[in-house]
């Protein structure tokens, strides 16, 4: 009896365990990413030839403790390799694991290779050659955290997922063993199979191979075990011949039964590759690959026989990809519900939100891994429940159970959102979604003309106009930014998600902007520095026009973009007031007010902000407007602290402080409602005779302390209404703005 270990992708352990038992394996035990078992040589051959889920099958030679470099070497040196292969065999060692004395896997592999070669030199005064490309014998060594070494011979040769039928593949192909697992988890046991987005055809081929009982390794000429003494090549040939006979008979049976395997794709070049793969797999008479767009998907099988849909739609990691793909998943779900009643459906994706766009209630959900990428496979049954029945759970408790042990990754998982089917309120929800689309279209029709006339590229096209769609939507040239406000706690998460998806889809359709140019953000109502929170680090910027000025904006890396659109008229006021004046901009952010002052003819400007990033951004904004920096000072300091020692005098001051700030770089907590009087008193001390302060803030509940300011000799004029731009008229509390002068 030999000791074996079969490796597999995470999430496939349970499937592999059941499969090995069916092949005659004994003492089968699964662990993370693999299954150990025992059996004779015939079991090893069958595992390599017949396993749909294994990546490699290893023959364990020895396990030993290696607490030092010498112990690692001696443990490998003392193995009787001559019982397994000859000195004339070429070898390659793969080593996995590190410890205190093995800092690099290449060094570990080198020490094992030296031990093997030295063993043969002592035995027959000759050493085996190393061949890293096509070795006769592959030695696999694993070093765990306890310094336990397991040395095995790889019976597979090339990885078992390489079935030798796929030379041509699409952009993001699934490995063959993962595809086989998707087919198995779909519940498919036979019958018709349809893949609406088939790509290179791997899912269809694996489904057909399963239905036709085709051994996955049937197209391979050699395995690693064929060069080992303990395995008889004749046994392999006999097993392969038996597999060929089974496949031939099964293919004829499927053809006679007119079982259909149909795949669609909208890319002619991908279709050509898929057809090549099908022919190479010997399934040309079974699998039909057709050119068709997803929008035209209907059931190609005209009789009443049902079947299984298995699909791997594209899924992206960037937010732009999400917006672009939302329509794909929505269309896929709608087409499936409309044309495939009675079918089983299995769809895999790494993005749970995209899976939610299907609007289908999952009966089962599995966690699988496409390489290192965690994915969900959702399995559905398409029946009237998908349209009518209301159920608060995505899956029943029975469906959520799994037979695998706790350390297995082969388990069903609950999706991020409970999938609620469309219920009796569907028509009402649909009407509300249409109302949102109509409102957005109406806004755009007016605002696009207005913005073009005004000479501005960035403006708001929707500002929570409808209570069910609480979001701010801004256009930045060819891009759309959706700021979704966090839903109230009394709104169920699934319902908020549905509205969010409806909103994105409507935005893409109404604006005609490509999905990869739609940027999604969730804006929570937080205090402090949340408005400046960094989201990513793309450093991707755009240049935006506004009243003859240009500004650098970043739509991706921060919650805000570098330009507050609601202060557009305030900035223009600064430009009109700045001619020949010394201008101060505190809490300056990216310096847009400084740009307007400079363009308006300010004699000097001083720009103060705590952030070096934003000060550099402000300098770049001046440069973008061809403004020399000679007369423009930039100060990186906490504005409140700077005001305590500032002595220069200014004709015009602009202050737009945060509502609240407790930044670690500030000595004190700042609250604009509590501290605005003392702030304005400090600013007024820097005013020249006849100077003025333009003071604004975005605290919606702000109340100016007119009496308190009057007591310290300051006069205040509320100009808020005059500074609210046309695209913000619905939200008259988007900001407050005042002119403050000395009495």
pTM over 0.85: no
| Structure token digits, residue 673 | 């409602």
**Rounded Cα gap, residues 361 and 352, in angstroms:** 13
**Rounded Cα gap, residues 390 and 421, in angstroms:** 6
* CATH topology classification for 426-525: Transcription Regulator spoIIAA (3.30.750)
In the prediction, which pLDDT does 389 show?
Answer: 39
- What residues of the chain score a pLDDT lower than 70? 168-172, 316-321, 384-430, 523-538, 663-667
Task: State the DSSP H helix or E strand holding residue 471, giving kind and residue range, or none if neither.
Answer: strand 471-476
**Rounded Cα gap, residues 440 and 508, in angstroms:** 11
* pLDDT tens per residue, range 99-123: 888 888 999 999 999 999 999 999 9
In the prediction, which pLDDT does 428 show?
Answer: 62
User: How remote is the C-alpha of 313 from its chain's centroid?
Assistant: 14
CA distances from 42 to 24, 174, 236, 553, 666 (A): 9, 30, 8, 66, 73
In the prediction, which pLDDT does 99 show?
Answer: 83
SS (H, E, C) 288-343: EEEECCHHHCCCCCCCCCCEEEEECCCCCCCHHHHHHHHHHHHHHHHHHHHHCCCC
* pLDDT tens per residue, range 45-85: 999 999 999 999 999 999 999 999 999 999 999 999 999 99
In the prediction, which pLDDT does 742 show?
Answer: 95
Task: State the DSSP H helix or E strand holding residue 151, giving kind and residue range, or none if neither.
Answer: strand 148-154
CA end-to-end distance (rounded Å), the chain: 100
* CATH topology classification for 176-214+252-400: Rossmann fold (3.40.50)
Pairing of strands 471-476, 287-291: unpaired
In the prediction, which pLDDT does 415 show?
Answer: 44
CATH 2.60.120.20, applies to 564-742: no
In the prediction, which pLDDT does 319 show?
Answer: 52
Q: Is 180 helix (H, G, I), strand (E, B) or coil?
A: helix
Closest CA to 194 of 108, 113, 298, 103: 298
In the prediction, which pLDDT does 712 show?
Answer: 96
Residue extent(s) of CATH 3.40.50.150 domains in the chain: 176-214+252-400, 564-742
Angle among Cα 587, 544, 450 to the nearest 5 degrees reads 105
In the prediction, which pLDDT does 525 show?
Answer: 47
In the prediction, which pLDDT does 534 show?
Answer: 53
Residue extent(s) of CATH 3.30.750.80 domains in the chain: 426-525
CATH architecture of 2-154: 2-Layer Sandwich (3.30)
């Amino acid at each position: 009896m030999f000791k074996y270990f079969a490796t597999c992708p995470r999430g496939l352990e349970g499937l592999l365990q059941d499969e090995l038992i069916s092949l005659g394996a004994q003492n089968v035990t699964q662990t993370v990413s693999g299954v150990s078992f025992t059996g004779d040589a015939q079991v090893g051959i069958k595992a390599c030839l017949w396993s749909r889920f294994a990546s490699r099958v290893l023959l364990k030679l020895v396990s030993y403790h290696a607490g030092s470099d010498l112990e690692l070497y001696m443990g490998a040196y003392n193995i009787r390799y001559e019982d397994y292969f000859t000195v004339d065999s070429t070898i390659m060692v793969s080593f996995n694991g590190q410890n205190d004395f093995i800092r690099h896997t290449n060094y570990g592999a080198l020490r094992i290779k030296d031990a093997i070669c030295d063993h043969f030199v002592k035995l027959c005064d000759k050493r085996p050659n190393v061949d890293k490309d096509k070795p006769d014998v592959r030695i696999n060594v694993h070093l765990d955290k306890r310094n336990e070494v397991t040395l095995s011979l790889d019976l597979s040769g090339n990885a078992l997922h390489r079935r030798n039928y796929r030379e041509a593949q699409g952009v993001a192909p699934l490995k063959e063993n993962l595809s086989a697992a998707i087919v198995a988890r779909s519940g498919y046991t036979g019958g018709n199979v349809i893949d609406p987005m088939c790509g290179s055809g791997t899912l269809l081929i694996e489904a057909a191979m399963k239905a036709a009982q085709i051994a996955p390794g049937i197209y391979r000429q050699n395995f690693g075990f064929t060069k080992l003494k303990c395995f008889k090549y004749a046994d392999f040939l006999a097993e392969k011949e038996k597999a060929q006979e089974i496949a031939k008979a099964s293919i004829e049976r499927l053809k006679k039964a007119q079982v259909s395997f149909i795949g669609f794709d909208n890319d002619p070049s991908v279709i050509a590759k898929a057809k090549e793969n099908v022919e190479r797999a010997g399934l040309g008479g079974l699998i039909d690959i057709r050119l068709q767009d997803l929008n035209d998907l209907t059931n190609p099988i005209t009789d009443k026989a049902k079947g299984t849909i298995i699909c791997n739609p594209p899924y992206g990691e960037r937010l732009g990809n999400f917006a672009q793909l939302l329509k794909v998943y929505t269309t896929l779900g709608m087409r499936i519900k409309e044309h495939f009643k009675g079918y089983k459906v299995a769809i895999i994706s790494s993005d749970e939100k995209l899976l939610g766009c299907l609007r289908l209630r999952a009966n089962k959900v599995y966690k699988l891994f496409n390489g290192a990428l965690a994915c969900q496979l959702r399995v559905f049954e398409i029946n009237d429940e998908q349209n009518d029945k209301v159920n608060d759970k995505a899956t029943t408790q029975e469906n959520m159970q799994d037979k695998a042990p706790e350390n297995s990754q082969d388990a069903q998982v609950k999706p991020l959102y409970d999938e609620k089917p469309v219920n009796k309120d569907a028509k009402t929800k649909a009407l509300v979604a249409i109302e949102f689309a109509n409102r957005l279209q109406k806004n755009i029709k007016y605002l696009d003309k207005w913005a073009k006339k005004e000479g501005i590229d960035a403006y708001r096209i929707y500002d929570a106009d409808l209570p069910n769609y609480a979001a701010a939507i801004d256009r930045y040239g060819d891009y759309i930014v959706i700021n979704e406000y966090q839903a109230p706690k009394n709104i169920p998460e699934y319902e908020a998600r549905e509205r969010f998806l409806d909103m994105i889809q409507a935005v893409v359709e109404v604006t005609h902007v490509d999905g990869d140019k739609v940027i999604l953000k969730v804006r929570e109502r937080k205090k402090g520095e949340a408005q400046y929170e960094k989201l990513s680090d793309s450093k991707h910027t755009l240049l935006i026009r506004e009243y003859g000025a240009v500004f650098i904006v970043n739509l991706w890396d921060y919650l805000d973009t570098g330009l507050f659109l609601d202060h557009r008229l305030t900035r223009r006021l600064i430009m009109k007031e700045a001619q020949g004046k010394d201008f101060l901009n505190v809490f300056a952010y990216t310096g847009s007010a400084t740009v307007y002052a400079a363009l308006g003819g300010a004699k000097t400007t001083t720009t103060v902000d705590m952030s070096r990033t934003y000060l550099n951004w402000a300098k770049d904004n001046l440069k973008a407007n061809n403004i020399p920096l000679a007369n423009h000072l930039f100060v990186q300091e906490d504005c409140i602290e700077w005001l305590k020692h500032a002595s220069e005098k200014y004709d015009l001051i602009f202050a737009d402080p945060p509502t609240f700030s407790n930044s670690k770089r500030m000595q004190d907590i700042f609250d604009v409602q509590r501290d605005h009087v003392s702030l304005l008193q400090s600013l007024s001390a820097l005013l020249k005779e006849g100077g003025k302060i333009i003071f604004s803030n975005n605290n919606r509940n702000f109340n100016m302390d007119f009496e308190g300011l009057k007591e310290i000799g300051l006069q205040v004029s509320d100009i808020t209404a005059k500074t609210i731009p046309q695209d913000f008229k619905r939200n008259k509390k988007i900001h407050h703005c005042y002119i403050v002068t000395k009495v």
